[in-house]
Amino acid sequence: MWVFESVTDKEEERSVCRCNGCAEVINNNERDLKNAMNTMEFFTVDKILKHILQNHIDIAEAETSGSGAAPEAREGARHQELHQVC
């Protein structure tokens, strides 16, 4: 399902739908990463990033990856990774 996320959006985007368990895991890891980044300590950030990458946790990657892949391809990859977590 493709929708406009806000009234000012020019392009439709696929809405993100996750089970409560997946959403909680993702939200907790995003929070942990933000807190680690606020410490401005390499080892703290590195520890959290390694955990996220090793466990294939999908954290706001689509907005920051700079990937040239089509939105459908990125969505398919995220969907596959989420099923590994759930």
14 bridge partner residues:
2
Q: Please give the model's pTM, rounded to 2 decimal places.
A: 0.55
- Boundaries of every domain in the chain: 18-85
Taking only the tens place, the pLDDT of each residue in 38-65 is 999 999 999 999 999 999 998 875 343 3
Query: 59 near 52, Cβ under 8 Å?
Result: yes
- 76 pLDDT exceeds 90? no
Query: 79 near 15, Cβ under 8 Å?
Result: no
Task: Calculate Rg over the CA atoms of the chain.
Answer: 14
In the chain, the amino acid numbered 18 is R
